[in-house]
Chains A and B, each alone.
Chain A
Amino acid sequence: MAEVDLIIIGAGPAGMSAAAFAARGGLQVLILDEQPHPGGQIYRNVAQNRSKRGFLGQAYAAGTDLVDALDHPHITLLTGATVWRLDKGPQVTWSRGAKSQTTSAAHVLLATGAQERPVPFPGWTLPGVMPAGAAQILMKTAGMLPKDAVLAGSGPLLYLIAAQMIDAGSPPQALVETQTFPQMLSATPHLPRALFGLPTLRKGLSLIAKIRKAAVPRYTAASGFHATTTESGNILFSFRANGRDQRLTCGLLLTHQGVIPGTHITRAAGIEHYWNAAQGAFQPEHDLWGATDQPGLHVAGDGAGIGGAEAAASAGELAGLNILCQSGRLSSDTRNQRAARARAALFRARAIRPFLDAAYPPPTDILAPSDNTIVCRCEEVSAGAIRQAIREGAQGHRQIKTSLRCGMGPCQGRMCDATLRGLLSEGKASQPISPPRARSPIKPIALGELAALSPPQEEPA
């Protein structure tokens, strides 16, 4: 491989946008992405879906432009490439086709995106219960439509997926929403600012109108989620809403409580993180260009703080411009001038966030679920066991991990860290809980593959 100036980890909107700007500015760019095609989760398979699956909507189809822009002589895109370690340098170690290698570059942009916030409740591990975003990935990548599904949770993605399902001719059986009227009310002070993002707001309202028109039953202020399996394999979903116990039988229960930055790689890289109280998640510290406290490392997109696809593309552009500037290919004046458009776009795209964050917060019984809920899916650790360890004195992630193996399975805490934090914070509003340490390999890697990186004729001391 030729000399690389910039390694971008993640080919979502942030990574793709940054790649295009950096390459046009003259840098040699290597993009690594785990998935088989560029697009990130939001634009999964967007180029493959060019002339089909129109129900996914125009906002989705807009992602093709970003993918097309990767067709540039200075850009090398490697899909199916899993980054599992980052060293100072910066130096990126990644696996592709069961072979690992290390690549260095003056700049690395971490654009690894978000994951859905875990939605734990009794029964969330059953086949038939899935994140709504996962079902959407199946719609995008396999043309598979949820059959006889209930959408449960809160947030704009829930409305989008409901609308896509309606347009695809497979409407949800019901929409069970957890947000309450007081929460919506508390969000209204953020509305004037949200007007800067008017198109987004309008789109949201049109989604809700579509759901109404399709006469999908809606429950709001729902709580106490509980799922069991019927004999035929259906999901029996019970919850509380409108002052009484409700029960729905469905083929699929699709849950959603917003998305959170995936921070394994940024934490492992040693970047400082802070708690974003409004979004209820940790995110890496960075300046307005995405530069971090670690030399050579930028962050952009939802992995740096949730803002959505449009914000991610703008943040990617800003990071790309800043990296061009640091590489001596743009003066800071030119960088600033050329950044004006992206900064305005970023401002507009983020304007609606405070409203959304306040209107659709994850409910308390999801953040700190009931004792009989599995929290760590890998090691099958319940909330009750974690509360017991806290009573025994555990005060932080590590003590819980080492007492119960919670977070020590192959997902490395991705499915339980957020919940563990919720449980550790119960009744201690003021006490900050530091995020757990992230160690490499960031994704599991075969011993043989790791061994092959060892120089020959050497043994451990």
Chain B
Amino acid sequence: MQQRTQEITIIGGGLVGLSVALGLLMAGQRVRVLDGADSDARASQGNFGLIWGQGKGWDFAPYANWTMDALTAWPAFAQQLRGLSGIDVALDQPGGYEFFTDPTEFDAFKAELAQQAIHLGKRARYEMLSGDDLRSQMQGIGPDVVGASFSLCDGHVNPLRFLRALRCSVQTMGGHVRLGATVSAIRPQPKGGFALVLADGETLYTEQVVLCAGLGAATLARDLGFNTQVRPQLGELLITEKLGDRLPFLSSTIRQVDEGGVQIGGTKANAGLNDHETLPIMSKLAHHAVTVFPALADVRVVRAWGALRVMSPDGYPVYAKSSMHPGAFLVTCHSGVTLAPLHASVLAEWILNTSATPELEAFDECRFALSHAA
């Protein structure tokens, strides 16, 4: 006997899934979130917590603008989360640096930012600083830093508290988050709706399904007729013991968590599903940190880890509606923190196809089919 519900089911209880769930709940929908096992890849539990626009979408205007929309929406979103969950996600948007020790890389990034500024128009607010400019503005920067960019809108949150705040907010709004519910297959039903087969053998039915399962979406996306192939990209990170005083900067590779620990990261590697931390990268990250800010040298690393970014073929978000199976949606991106305010608001309008639907055509997965054809 099939039990049909009118709920929208979100597959994936990470930052993306919970943000989408929150948006749908705010729009008055009934929502159920299915989350997998504690041991899943879970990019949401290994990330850096940046709210970052610098350089993003320099060669893809829709992404540059979408990211800028998100940066602008963050303060109100953080307030909303606090109201719903009682949790302060420690939003801090002091502007962010990108430090360089190689002049060629510095010049290349300068060109990218100039290109991005064309897309953003008046909204682009950044400056390029020489090493000496930087050192005169901020004490403690190492002599080997040749320059930095500084963008006024960038910031960060406490990513772990953000995840918890999202989960609590979804629950406060009446969303049902079910953990340990790994979806192993999705079967579109002949008369509409979907059967979700769980790993433990249970089957759930839903009218609409939004796939936000990160790397877990690979086979499920095929079940729904999507062609997007996500791939894992390994990022390695270090976290230090907590400091009582504050680092004088936020950068894309070195940031101090509100609780005091310094996170160091930003590496990229293709290692399949292997998320082990490696000695060469750990020491490179440490080397980078003490090069940028030598006073960090006696601060102890408490833990290193690897986490897998969820990358679409071109690295940009994918927002796709299944043409084959109406009611099925695919949402995937690697900037689940930065884009969360949009995922928790206007993306719901797009899913519900209201009159306020944002223009998201550029993020459809048909772009991959086209590039194949070309």
Residues of A within 8 A of B (CB): 85, 87, 93, 102, 392-399, 402-403, 405, 408-410, 412, 434, 439-441, 444-448, 450-454, 458-461
Contact = CB atoms under 8 A, between A and B. Distances in A.
> Among the interface residues B160, B171, B286, which one has the most CB atoms of the partner chain A within 10 A?
B286
Contact of B38 (A399, A444, A445, A453): A399
13 contacts: A397-B38, A398-B38, A398-B39, A403-B160, A403-B163, A445-B300, A446-B298, A447-B264, A448-B290, A451-B289, A451-B291, A454-B280, A458-B287
A460 B266 contact: yes
A459 to B, nearest CB: 5
Contacts of B289: 447, 451
A305 B289 CA distance: 40
Contacts of A408: 239, 302-303
Contact of A441 (B37, B177, B303): B303
Interface in B237-275: 238-241, 253, 259, 264, 266-268
A396 B300 CA distance: 27
Nearest to A403: B164
Contacts of A394: 179
A150 B277 CA distance: 45
A448 B238 CA distance: 13
B303 A434 contact: no
Interface string B163-185: 11001100100000111100000
Contact of B240 (A392, A434, A447): A447
A440 B282 contact: yes
A interface: dominant SS: loop
Nearest to A445: B301
B102 interface: yes
B239 to A, nearest CB: 8
Contact of A102 (B42, B101, B279, B302): B279
A265 B177 CA distance: 35
Given A395-B179, A434-B38, A448-B298, A439 B283 contact: no
Interface residues of B, number: 52
Contact of B277 (A410, A439, A445): A439
Contacts of B77: none
9 A-B pairs with the lowest CB-CB distances in the bound complex, closest first:
A396-B38, A448-B297, A450-B286, A444-B300, A454-B287, A454-B283, A451-B286, A453-B283, A451-B287
Interface in B185-205: none
Contacts of B177: 393
A395 B167 contact: no
B299 interface: yes
Given A398-B39, A405-B259, A460 B281 contact: yes
Interface string B213-247: 00000000000000000000000001111000000
Contacts of B179: 393-395, 399
B167 A446 contact: no
Given A87-B279, A447-B286, 20 more contacts: A85-B279, A392-B168, A393-B177, A394-B179, A396-B38, A398-B39, A409-B302, A440-B279, A441-B282, A446-B300, A447-B297, A447-B300, A448-B297, A450-B282, A451-B289, A451-B291, A453-B279, A459-B287, A460-B281, A460-B288
> Among the interface residues A93, A441, A454, which one has the most CB atoms of the partner chain B within 10 A?
A454
A214 B290 CA distance: 59
Contact of A446 (B42, B266, B285, B299): B299
